[in-house]
Structure 1
Amino acid sequence: MAMTSLTELDDDTVRSMSIGAVFSEFGGKINSIDFHRKDDLLVTASEDDSVRLYDIASAKLLKTTFHKKHGADRICFTHHPSSVICSSTYNLDSTGGFFFLLFLLIFIYHCFMYERVMENVAESLRYLSMYDNRCLRYFKGHKERVVSLCMSPINDSFMSGSLDHSVRIWDLRVNACQGILRLRGRPTVAYDQQGLVFAVAMEGGAIKLFDSRSYDKGPFDTFLVGGDTAEVCDIKFSNDGKSMLLTTTSNNIYVLDAYGGEKRCGFSLEPSPNTKIEATFTPDGQYVVSGSGDGTLHAWNINMRNEVSCWNSHIGISSCLKWAPRRAMFAAASTVLTFWIPDSSKSTVEPRPMDVEGAAPSENVSQQ
């Protein structure tokens, strides 16, 4: 697989994207993927409790670690190329159930103690070293599954959103939570590329923007995605900070102006029951690529508000999809991971019409 550095993209280059590498060694659905910001690395977390590290320049699997005790759900790189944050699939405390129940029954009437008990066994986040397969730190507090996870681009802070209706702000250097936001619905979080602002999507299609240095003062702006009250399952900022990309549980995609919240364009995809799709900006912020419920992949030109290409994903519904920060490449995953790169020999194929809103004129295996 010949990898090329990212140059300015155009419709023909995007249209020519095709599969350059396939990895099918997973024993279940891939839950999440992430690219490192500065190194040619990709990490995956899968239902088979594995975390896998790939060199995207050579299309090579570098390392696999298994996490049978905690599982592997959401994952993201820290700033270090061999360190990641991973959310657990299973409760941290898998033993002592009798003593926990006894303890809970004795102190259930005491709210403060109840809170402490729940935090001791709650869904946890782990700071993992892929280099030597060590857990560097645990982060406890969430009472239900973490559904959104992101690392600050400028410091050691990171955020997690959970089905317990909270967003927690953390610091890699300490175990204790640094801040909590209580919200309605399923929270989804994202930092902008400068790390100065973060967005939280919540119930009813509301997007709240916070200053990351003074989030305790509350949001400085709130946007509403008009006409769509489905929960937002993913949110991303473009690299230039001018646009936000929202993907909803009803498989609608919206590109918003990040300053005023106006909807620049929207796209409707085939439904995918029980599977949430993911969309991604290209690094120049000019295109959006997404999976769909019918197993296809789609690319749109944001400025022209038209579909550029439609491909067969060849792997079913792609629930994970991200574009590499520094390469002309994106990765799509279901139970299989695929790397997509430009193919200059590929003939141009016109995409089929779609429902478009706002249209205008070497492996090492170890166990943990």
Structure 2
Amino acid sequence: MIITDSVLRSFRIARTYQENNEKVNCVVYSPDGENAISTSNDDSIVLYDMTIGRPVQRVHSKKYGADLIRYTHEDSHKVIYSSNKMDDTIRYLSLIDVKYIRYFSGHTAKVTALSMSPVAKMFISGSLDKTIRIWDLRTENVQGQTEPLDRPICSFDPDGLIFAAGVDSQSIKLYDVRAFAKGPFKSFELRLNRICDWTGLKFSDDGKQILISTNGGIICILNSFTGDTMHKFSGYNNNKGLKLEACFTPDSQFVMIGSEDGRVHVWSIENEMKVAVLDGKHPGPISAIQFNPKYMTFATACKNMTFWLPSVDDM
């Protein structure tokens, strides 16, 4: 099935799970699309099996908490995640035997971004300590770090050759992974004409666009090669200045964001039109949203986790 306006408008809630009693912080799919994993402010990590459509494992992280989480691309049973209690160490966890493989220590303030290389055993982390650090899964030692950057968020591109850093909610710097110590090879300025903080940065799967999420009721898409602003989308509820996640669809043709009122807003990147507003029946703001990379389904979360499927009868 190809993702189209009508397909997106046809999406309906397939299942909702109430595995958490506090806000879900992060949801990600495994690269093969067969699993999803979430973290929550209730200090739990929940694994969902997409082939049977239900939660299959819960891991507690009561001592350290659980904030951002990413699959390592080695398999669907190894993850890295950041803490929101006690310290700012990043932990490398095997879900099979529920054992920590390695600890990545060095950040001295909250980790604000975590991105796994799609092609190597490497990941990057951004922190309020004003650094982006480069790590290798095979060693606990940091491989390098950027010059001081105010409030950095970051992400690898789909080829794993460069990473982008959003700095102080006003500029984007591009780094070559092989020569990051030389500093950025390109920088862009972005003015949104409203007071807000950038809360997320993502590349589209085709690598041609960068999505900037904010806490100010606006998201922005840039050309990743020139830095030109392509689109600005607003018109969704975020009056409280919350960190609401946005995402691309896997074909890079649409962008989605959850809202304060529990609805999902979807725009076409090609014609800048809003193509759907979907009611997720969420009792609170949608803090996390992700489209499955392989299957026609996506997930949204507040403290509940909801999985969506298209309805053929409505298309």
- Alignment TM class, shorter chain as reference: over 0.9
Alignment of structure 1 residues 252-331 onto 2, 5 Å: 252-268=218-234, 269-273=236-240, 275-315=242-282, 316-331=284-299
2:227 counterpart SS class: coil
Using the TM superposition, give the Cα deviation of residue 259 of structure 1 relative to its aligned residue in structure 2, in angstroms: 0.7
Query: What's 2:71 paired with?
Result: 77
Name which of 16, 20, 32 aligns with 2:14: 20
Please tell me the residue identity of whatever aligns with 1:345: D
Structure 1 Cα separation of the partners of residues 31 and 162 of structure 2: 18
Query: What's 2:25 paired with?
Result: 31
Using the TM superposition, give the Cα deviation of residue 46 of structure 1 relative to its aligned residue in structure 2, in angstroms: 0.7
Query: What's 2:163 paired with?
Result: 198
> Which of structure 1's runs of 4+ aligned residues deviate more than 4 A?
none
Query: What's 1:50 paired with?
Result: 44
Q: What percent of counterpart residues are identical? A: 36
Q: Is the 8 A contact 2:33 2:293 kept in 1?
A: no
- More displaced stretch, 163-172 vs 298-307: 163-172
Using the TM superposition, give the Cα deviation of residue 39 of structure 1 relative to its aligned residue in structure 2, in angstroms: 4.2
Query: What's 1:237 paired with?
Result: 203
Please tell me the residue identity of whatever aligns with 1:326: K
Using the TM superposition, give the Cα deviation of residue 272 of structure 1 relative to its aligned residue in structure 2, in angstroms: 4.3
Name which of 61, 69, 80 aligns with 1:67: 61
Unmatched runs of 5 consecutive residues or more in structure 2: none
Structure 2 Cα separation of the partners of residues 231 and 201 of structure 1: 11
Please tell me the residue identity of whatever aligns with 2:105: K
Quick one: structure 1 residues 74 and 204, their matched pair in 2 at CA, closer, same or farther if it must change by over 3 Å? closer
Tell me, yes or no, if structure 1 residue 181 matches structure 2 residue 146: yes
Please tell me the residue identity of whatever aligns with 1:293: E
Query: What's 1:89 paired with?
Result: 84
Using the TM superposition, give the Cα deviation of residue 340 of structure 1 relative to its aligned residue in structure 2, in angstroms: 1.1
Query: What's 2:213 paired with?
Result: 247
1:214 counterpart SS class: helix
Spell out, residue by residue over 1:61-119, the C-alpha distance to the aligned partner (whole angstroms, 9 max, x if none): 12111011111111111012100001112224xxxxxxxxxxxxxxxxxxxxxxxxxxx
TM-score, structure 2 as length reference: 0.95
Structure 2 Cα separation of the partners of residues 127 and 43 of structure 1: 14
Spell out, residue by residue over 1:296-337, the C-alpha distance to the aligned partner (whole angstroms, 9 max, x if none): 210111001100001222112111011110111111111011
Cα RMSD (Å): 1.4
Tell me, yes or no, if structure 1 residue 157 matches structure 2 residue 151: no
Query: What's 2:105 paired with?
Result: 140
Using the TM superposition, give the Cα deviation of residue 274 of structure 1 relative to its aligned residue in structure 2, in angstroms: 5.5
Structure 2 Cα separation of the partners of residues 263 and 180 of structure 1: 28
Structure 2 Cα separation of the partners of residues 138 and 215 of structure 1: 23
Spell out, residue by residue over 1:200-245, the C-alpha distance to the aligned partner (whole angstroms, 9 max, x if none): 0011420111111111111111112224463321111111111111
Using the TM superposition, give the Cα deviation of residue 258 of structure 1 relative to its aligned residue in structure 2, in angstroms: 1.0
Structure 2 Cα separation of the partners of residues 286 and 238 of structure 1: 9
Quick one: structure 1 residues 124 and 87, their matched pair in 2 at CA, closer, same or farther if it must change by over 3 Å? same
Query: What's 2:303 paired with?
Result: 335
Alignment of structure 1 residues 338-349 onto 2, 5 Å: 338-346=306-314
Using the TM superposition, give the Cα deviation of residue 33 of structure 1 relative to its aligned residue in structure 2, in angstroms: 1.1
1:345 counterpart SS class: helix
Structure 2 Cα separation of the partners of residues 70 and 273 of structure 1: 27
1:132 counterpart SS class: coil
Please tell me the residue identity of whatever aligns with 1:197: I
Using the TM superposition, give the Cα deviation of residue 136 of structure 1 relative to its aligned residue in structure 2, in angstroms: 0.6
More helix by percentage: 1
Structure 1 Cα separation of the partners of residues 290 and 197 of structure 2: 20
Aligned residue pairs total: 311
Q: Is the 8 A contact 1:19 1:339 kept in 2?
A: yes
Q: Is the 8 A contact 1:127 1:136 kept in 2?
A: yes
